[in-house]
Structure 1
């Protein structure tokens, strides 16, 4: 029961934060030609609708292929990911990492389903000549989850996990 509460509350918070920030981006940035800068120009807010995946990967694919990949296959992946974490025993660190990836995926999946296959992106980090692509809160959760998973699989990550979680 505790695991179910953790899963549902974490997903609710992740998806809620993602939706709230995207709603604000639509209300305050959509239709605006300007870019709002913060932290001395390092963080910029700008409105984009992305029909592709990370860094617009796949945006130029035909509509039916994009729909199949980003709606159907992503939906199947998220469904089975949720099923897996509900049913299988999983360590706390791996559960958290899985929830980050699945929660972020669900946030972007929601956009695709209810925004004609488009995902709202609005964050841009720029340090000197280096710039990221435009991204959103769901993308941050996904990337943090993926990098955390890779770290947890290293020798240092496993040692840290044993010390912190006393497994």
Structure 2
């Protein structure tokens, strides 16, 4: 089970990186130096941007050295810590928790690699909203994977232990027959 989960986690991470970088390649080829491509009555736009900050451009106005330390060094350390937690703790995580963390790691690593390749910039190219006033920031596939992973982790609880850890706490094994007595 553990070796199979190791393979699945690794596949999710690598497939996430590959898909994100393929889409960024096409964004560079077809969207850079082009006006936004508008679809579904302007609900969805393909619009090329290079982001020097975090999600939604957060921190993009910081000095270049500060951005390097935050978005390259600190994020690299956090991603390494996440990978260690994910691979060492996989026996304590449910399959959905592992999937959520794998998506976060895959998206995070993909943007990290993009930032290394593109001198501190991440390619973004999608935007959703209504008109010009109610719109998301410009984002990429890695951002979507991170958000999906975070939603999975939040819904299925990263703090909840795996079922195997709690098997000794079932009603049958508890000396008093469980919290509410015997049925």
Normalising by the smaller structure, the TM-score range is: 0.7 to 0.9
Say whether residues 1:131 and 2:135 are aligned partners.
Answer: yes
Instruction: Note the aligned Cα RMSD (angstroms).
Output: 1.8
Deviations 1:77-100, CA, capped at 9 Å, x for gaps = 111111111111221010001011
Q: How does 1:51-70 map to 2 (within 5 A)?
A: 51-70=52-71
Name stretches of at least 5 consecutive residues in structure 1 with no aligned partner. 163-167
Q: Is the 8 A contact 2:96 2:152 kept in 1?
A: no
Q: CA deviation at 1:47?
A: 0.6
Deviations 1:64-120, CA, capped at 9 Å, x for gaps = 110001000111111111111111122101000101111110110011111000000
Counterpart of 2:82 in structure 1 is 81
Deviations 1:108-139, CA, capped at 9 Å, x for gaps = 00111110000000000022441000000000
Q: CA deviation at 1:153?
A: 3.1
Q: How does 1:113-152 map to 2 (within 5 A)?
A: 113-128=116-131, 129-152=133-156
Name stretches of at least 5 consecutive residues in structure 2 with no aligned partner. 164-183
Q: CA deviation at 1:42?
A: 1.0
Q: How does 1:11-50 map to 2 (within 5 A)?
A: 11-32=13-34, 34-50=35-51
* More moved, 16-25 vs 121-130: 121-130
SS of match in other structure, 1:122: strand
Q: CA deviation at 1:9?
A: 0.9
* More moved, 16-25 vs 82-91: 82-91
Equivalent-residue separation in structure 2 for 1:104 and 1:72 (angstroms):
17
Counterpart of 1:101 in structure 2 is 104
Tell me how many residue pairs correspond in the alignment: 156
Which runs of at least 4 in structure 1 moved beyond 2 Å after TM superposition? none
Counterpart of 2:179 in structure 1 is none
Q: Max radius of gyration: which structure?
A: 2
